[in-house]
Structure 1
Amino acid sequence: MTRPSRIAIPCLALIAATAVASGAWGAELKKVSFGTNWLPEAEHGGYYQAVADGSYADCGLDVTILPGGPQVNNRALLLAGKIEFHMGGNLIQAFSAVEQDIPLKVVAAHFQKEPQVILTHPGQGLDSWGSLKDIKLFIGENGFQSYYQWMIAAYGFKASQRAPYTFNPAPFLADPKSGQQGYVTSEPFAIEKAGGFEPNIFLIADYGFDTYASTVEVMDEMIETGPEAVQCFVDASARGWYTYLYGDPSAGDELILTSNPEMTPEQLAFTRKMLRDYGIVDSGDARTLGIGAMTDARFNSFYEKMVDAGVVPDGLDIASSYTLDFVDKGVGLDLRKTLTGE
């Protein structure tokens, strides 16, 4: 799902790896482009890190990162064959591709948890999931049509509770008995800055919304004609994420700040901490199978929930929406152990 604008930026830099080493295809690195789903930020840190530290180049790729944003549709570029890799949102997009007979697949999931949260004011008795079912909730249209329908079906939330969210926190700040949607990596930071308090945070993934997020999508043709490039991108991205989360992220941060001058080191540090604290990237199956891990069980579980909630139709061949050929190989677990000592 495309995020609404949080940052105004007049132009977007294209960050590319420099072809400095011989790759798997000879002296020249294979040039590929990766379109993200938003402006440069720490939520993309592993990819920028892999560019900066040469992880992509080490296995043969010269990767250009094309930032997304409010006026950018990188997924359309993927479908048109203009880019090779695209950062998806959650699995609803992949299921929709099956419904529309679009020949693409998810090849990795770098967020094991959807970072979507509901925020409430502290000290108002709104400190449990059940307490949210009787208050006004500011939810955007995309959220209302997706995860909120699951909240209705699974927990008995009501459509009448929902008030439109315009991505302005002022109504939430003014009403201490309300709740607001957000990303765990971003909105809590903004609320603390604007409101002077740390909000209660309810990560919907921890209540059963078990989609993957920040997926890597490629067209079927890419898998057929360039499997080595796909494997390189998946493996190097995992290593980049381990370094960004647990090692020295300065090289990746420098690229992000260069590409997005409205970003701040303070925001980057906050986001990286929340990614670690809430297990967004490195939790569950990723702890044993490596960052980017996916399983049939998770795809099936989330699909069934979306069918029950009326978000996607029954009977889709969701097995055609992904492949496990490039993940679950433990890539980077040795690096994690070195960086964390665990």
Structure 2
Amino acid sequence: MTAGAATATLLALTLAACGGGDDDAAAAAPSGEVGSTDLAAAGCPDTVVVQTDWNPESEHGGLYESLGDDYVVDAGSKTVSGTLIDGEGDSTGVKLEIRAGGPAIGFQTVTAQMYSDDAITLGYIATDEAIQLSATQPTTAVLAPLEISPTMIMWDPETYPDVTGIEDLGQTDATVRYFEGSAYMAYLTGSGILSPDQVDGSYDGTPAGFVADAGKSAQQGFASAEPYIYENEVDAWGKGVEYELVYDAGFQPYQSSISVRSDEVEGLSGCLTELVPLMQQADVDYLEDPARVNEIILELVEEYDTGWVYSQGVADFSVQQQAELGLVGNGSDDTHGNFDTARVQTLIDQTTPIFTEQGTPPLEGITPDDLVTNEYIDDAIGVQ
């Protein structure tokens, strides 16, 4: 071995020891004694692989709460893996691998990823996506980390002082920018809340258009991010915005629901019985004390280097909004993470004509039971 090769090897080992990403380290067994939850004995795979729907962010905090401190980052594949821990910080006997979504997977749907890679155990899938793909790539949601979707429409209160919600925007001449193909916009225009003539599907996730229009246009965003970003981090704007959640305008999917392929539910049943309550509790624990996990999230954003910027301020604001707006919370009962099947049926009724017109009709005769299950939920776990 040459001196240069020896130095490179030593450097690689050092980086792996510091969580820098190494194939051998990533393949290592979970560390620590198994605590009260033994996921290996419950039939979980050696590594529970979760495909997320975006870059690491605080909306995924509950998932990262279950990642042990022995985690290893693979910046190339935009993944992080480590021991899957319980609420006491003890090993569950298996590993957790979390994969970034969005740019990391070429902006493909999580559903498509799950059907192209059998290694994926769970994925973040919104209910409207599950409905749209139910005939060809069916998935079943087992946990709703977000009770309320943070998707919103925002506007400048100085330009539109009389606007108090999305419906009011429909009475103005404001252009409303959004991501093309979003089902919620077809609902807003189809129900007459917004005019088809005023919506613009060219939003690219940057503030450029909103700033250039000097407040004359409105724009989609996340209530857990953009209000802080535009006031504190967009120098060309630097002031507050007003917004309304699309949820409050009547379109209410379960955003980023933890889901499995429908043909794998039975085989994973034993695993899900133990894993889902652990994930419920992790959501609650993160909301109560997010500091450790937010450090991990910020580290991953820097390591992955996808061009996406995420600051400590945004991370902290997100947690605050998750609590204050009930984005992470309980349903009509005292349980976190379960599904209201009447709400799911309403979404089926709202979106079936939309998706049929778009050429992706849902499964014929689809019902909420085809899309969600509360079988694995622990009714005693809730956000206080």
Among residues 42, 47, 62, which one is paired with 1:46 in the alignment?
62
Distance 1:71 1:29, change over 3 A: closer
Pair 1:55 & 2:91 matched: no
**How far off is 1:150 after superposition?**
0.6
Computed over aligned residues only, the root mean square deviation of the Cα atoms, in angstroms, reads 2.8
The residue that corresponds to 1:297 in the other structure is 342
Distance 1:299 1:20, change over 3 A: same
Q: Distance in 2 between matches of 1:197 and 1:234?
A: 41
Q: Distance in 1 between matches of 2:350 and 2:102?
A: 29
In 2, are the aligned partners of 1:238 and 1:331 still within 8 Å (CA)? no
The residue that corresponds to 1:199 in the other structure is 241
**How far off is 1:137 after superposition?**
0.9
Distance 1:156 1:117, change over 3 A: closer
Distance 1:131 1:191, change over 3 A: same
Q: Distance in 1 between matches of 2:297 and 2:21?
A: 10
Among residues 282, 295, 309, which one is paired with 1:240 in the alignment?
282
Q: Distance in 2 between matches of 1:298 and 1:120?
A: 28
Q: Distance in 2 between matches of 1:155 and 1:128?
A: 17
Pair 1:278 & 2:325 matched: yes
The residue that corresponds to 2:252 in the other structure is 210
Q: Secondary structure at the match of 1:51?
A: coil
Q: Distance in 1 between matches of 2:214 and 2:162?
A: 13
Among residues 225, 231, 236, which one is paired with 2:267 in the alignment?
225
Among residues 288, 291, 294, which one is paired with 1:253 in the alignment?
294
Letter in 2 for 1:82: A
Letter in 1 for 2:318: T
What percent identity do the matched residue pairs reach?
Answer: 22
Where in structure 2 are the equivalents of 1:1-80 lying within 5 Å?
18-22=30-34, 23-26=38-41, 30-52=46-68, 54-55=85-86, 59-72=92-105, 73=108, 74-79=110-115, 80=117
Q: Distance in 2 between matches of 1:119 and 1:152?
A: 16
> 168-177 or 185-194, which moves further after superposition?
168-177
Pair 1:122 & 2:164 matched: no
Distance 1:58 1:293, change over 3 A: farther
> 252-261 or 207-216, which moves further after superposition?
252-261
Larger Cα-atom Rg: 2
Q: Which has the higher contact order (CA 8 A, sep 6+)?
A: 1
Q: Distance in 2 between matches of 1:323 and 1:330?
A: 13
**How far off is 1:308 after superposition?**
5.2
The residue that corresponds to 1:95 in the other structure is 131
The residue that corresponds to 2:216 in the other structure is 177
> 20-29 or 162-171, which moves further after superposition?
20-29
Pair 1:159 & 2:196 matched: yes
**How far off is 1:82 after superposition?**
1.9
**How far off is 1:96 after superposition?**
2.2
Letter in 2 for 1:160: D
The residue that corresponds to 2:229 in the other structure is 190
How many residues align? The count is 316
In 2, are the aligned partners of 1:118 and 1:204 still within 8 Å (CA)? yes
> 185-194 or 315-324, which moves further after superposition?
315-324
Distance 1:215 1:24, change over 3 A: closer
Q: Distance in 2 between matches of 1:239 and 1:126?
A: 42
Unaligned runs of 5+ residues in structure 2 are 1-19, 70-84, 303-308
Instruction: Name the structure with the higher helix share.
Output: 1
Q: Distance in 2 between matches of 1:283 and 1:113?
A: 10
TM-score, normalising length from structure 1? 0.83
The residue that corresponds to 2:3 in the other structure is none
Letter in 1 for 2:295: E
In 1, are the aligned partners of 2:39 and 2:275 still within 8 Å (CA)? no
In 1, are the aligned partners of 2:130 and 2:138 still within 8 Å (CA)? no
**How far off is 1:177 after superposition?**
2.6
Q: Secondary structure at the match of 1:98?
A: coil
TM-score, normalising length from structure 2? 0.74
Letter in 1 for 2:96: V
Pair 1:288 & 2:334 matched: yes
Q: Distance in 2 between matches of 1:24 and 1:191?
A: 43
Q: Distance in 2 between matches of 1:76 and 1:137?
A: 29
In 1, are the aligned partners of 2:132 and 2:361 still within 8 Å (CA)? no
Q: Distance in 2 between matches of 1:203 and 1:273?
A: 16
Letter in 2 for 1:104: T
The residue that corresponds to 2:376 in the other structure is 326
The residue that corresponds to 2:4 in the other structure is none
